[in-house]
Amino acid sequence: MWSIYIQAARVEDALENLALFGARARIVAGATDLILEIERGNRKGVDVLIDITRVAGLAEIGLDDGNWIHLGPLVTHNDCVASNILREKAYPLVRACWEVGSPQIRNRGTVAGNLVTGSPANDTITPLIALGAVLTLKSAQGERRVPLAEFYTGVRRTVLKDEEMLMDIAFPAMANTQSGTFIKFALRRAQAISLVNVAILLDYSGEIVHNATITLGAVAPTIIRAVSAENYLVGRKLDEETIRIAATLAMKSARPISDVRGTAKYRQVITRVVTQRGLRALKDGVVTEGFPDEPVLLRNAFQPAYTYTDSYREFTGKDVINTRINGRSYSFGNCHQKTLLRMLREDAGLIGTKEGCAEGECGACSVLLDGAVVMSCMVPAPRAHGAVIQTIEGYSKEGEISPVQEAFAKEGAVQCGYCTPGFIISATQLLEEFPKPTKNQIEQALTGNLCRCTGYYRIINAVEGAAQRGGE
């Protein structure tokens, strides 16, 4: 566990503390990787967390005069999904972000965190290498630019130095002659690690391929290019035979391992299949098939995901966390090493928020944090300082349960009830975003919530019923 939690107010605060604490310190953004790594003991020696989520100006997505797109270090996966610039000019990245975890994970997890963690199965690395991304790494001494393709030295190993922070992710916007896609193959449709993923970027006139980039994830220690497939495609008509041969060449580039999710042989075959699917979709112009026009985000569109602060703080034990929960002010001491989930249950006495897995997988701990549904087991408690939180206890007013709660009761959507608070929070936020959601949107909204009693049909019926009755 960490012993010091620093809330940076400026980038300089973060850089000074990285220089001061060296290998003891890590930047923390969404914390969806870091909390687990620390709890599982994979980050030995790290006991200082430097939270940059209160620093203004780091969550921007921009397009510069040279037609390069820039992502700040706090751009989340859901920010990418919601961005019109990216949907138009960097579709493979948007598609990858949409495939990450669940809405709760996409509301907190950043693209920068995904790149720095550096698992070869992480979804945004594959499209960003295909798009030619370049990273700006900054320290108190200065800054340097590193192509993403040269950032990795092995599984979860990068050239990032202890004193450096990733400041900017830049890549050329896709030209009108380019089209691209990203395909993830995993063992289920949400909350699943890629068994194989592929990003394809083509300069394609509609008939002949003028240039091709194919990157493959989860089939080698780092993301790799399928060079022989790329070379084969150039100058060729994109027909079924070309696609078949290119996909076979991509398969031969893969150097996967066997693990619990699949054998090396299976991964190789899947590499061929997903490359084939991607190239076909590009040929037929249907790459956006299956990607929703109006994606469910489970966050308040009118509230920034991060509340900025101009006050630098170090939480070491004596410092009090001041926060607002369900409209009431609270002050907590001695919680700086806890997760938000533990602080809510143990210190605020709000035990409606449940612990199911403590790994971001089940959604039983879902709460609203600054207007976004998040997994509270994945949030360090000091992040609540100055924030606005709503837990399940805040949904019933003056003894009256909410329309969504009422619909769950009427429909018999509650069995043991352990998962129910998390479902109510996701469902209520969905109806805020889409008062008349489609069945598909309901399913999207609930992908981060698991019910061990498996009463999913009744839960979906309850949300439909609440929507019909105009429930909040």
Contact residue for ligand FES among 148, 281, 365, 407 (CB under 6 A)? 365
Q: Does residue 379 bind ligand FES (CB under 6 A)?
A: no
Count of CB atoms situated within 10 Å of the CB of 335? 25
Residues 330-349: x where in contact with ligand FES by CB under 6 A, - otherwise, as a string: --------------------
Note whether 394 and 404 are within 8 A (CB). no
Angstrom distances, CA of residue 175 to CA of 6, 94, 429 = 42, 16, 36
Residue with tokens 């003991």: 41
Asked whether the beta carbons of 406 and 432 are under 8 A apart, the reply is no
Secondary structure class of 272 (helix, strand, coil): helix
Is 148 near ligand FES (CB under 6 A)? no
Q: Which of residues 57-86 bind ligand FAD (CB under 6 A)?
A: 73
Strands 178-185 and 134-139: unpaired
**The one segment of 27-35, 172-180, 383-391, 462-470 that binds ligand FAD by CB under 6 A:** 27-35
Does 363 bind ligand FES (CB under 6 A)? Our answer is yes
SS3 167: strand
Asked if 154 is part of the footprint of ligand FES (rule: CB under 6 A), the reply reads no
Q: Which of 48, 43, 53 is nearest to 17 (CA)?
A: 48
For position 101 contacting ligand FES by CB under 6 A, the verdict is: no
The answer to whether 187 contacts ligand FES (rule: CB under 6 A) is no
Residue 295 CA neighbour count, 13 Å, CB half? 24
Nearer to ligand FES, 111 or 365 (CB): 365
φ/ψ of 15, rounded to 5, equals -65, -40
When binding is defined by CB under 6 A, the residue of 6, 8, 15, 34 that contacts ligand FAD is: 34
CA distance 194 to 187: 8
Of 115-123, 235-243, 276-284, 317-325, which segment contacts ligand FAD by CB under 6 A?
115-123
The answer to whether 109 contacts ligand FAD (rule: CB under 6 A) is yes
**Which of 305, 451, 462, 467 forms a contact with ligand FES (CB under 6 A)?**
451
Q: Closest distance between ligand FES and the C-beta of residue 104, in Å?
A: 7
User: CA 248 to CA 173: how far, in whole Å?
Assistant: 29
**Distance (Å, whole) CA 44 – CA 313:** 24
Report if residue 27 touches ligand FAD, rule: CB under 6 A: yes
Binder among 5, 30, 91, 185 for ligand FAD (CB under 6 A): 30
Check binding of 295 to ligand FES (CB under 6 A): no
Site for ligand FAD in 361-420 (CB under 6 A): 361, 378
Listed in order, strand segments (DSSP E) in 29-141 are 48-51, 61-63, 68-71, 134-139
Q: Which does 126 bind (CB under 5 to 8 A by kind): ligand FES, ligand FAD, none?
A: none
Q: Tokens standing for 313?
A: 């703080």
| Binding site partner of 358, from ligand FES, ligand FAD, none, Cβ cut-off 5-8 A by kind | ligand FES
Tell me how far apart the alpha carbons of residues 408 and 396 are, in angstroms, rounded to a whole number.
13
Residue (28 or 59) nearer to ligand FES, CB: 28
229 binds ligand FES (CB under 6 A): no
Under a CB-based contact definition with an 8 Å cutoff, are residues 404 and 471 in contact?
A: yes
Residue span binding ligand FES (CB under 6 A) among the ranges 196-204, 252-260, 287-295, 414-422: 414-422
- Specify the 3-state DSSP secondary structure of 443: helix
How many CA within 13 A on the CB side of residue 412?
Answer: 1
Q: Given the rule CB under 6 A, which residues bind ligand FAD?
A: 26-34, 73, 100-101, 105, 108-110, 112-114, 116-117, 122-123, 165-166, 191, 360-361, 378
Q: Given the rule CB under 6 A, which residues bind ligand FES?
A: 355-358, 360-365, 375, 377, 414-419, 451-453, 455
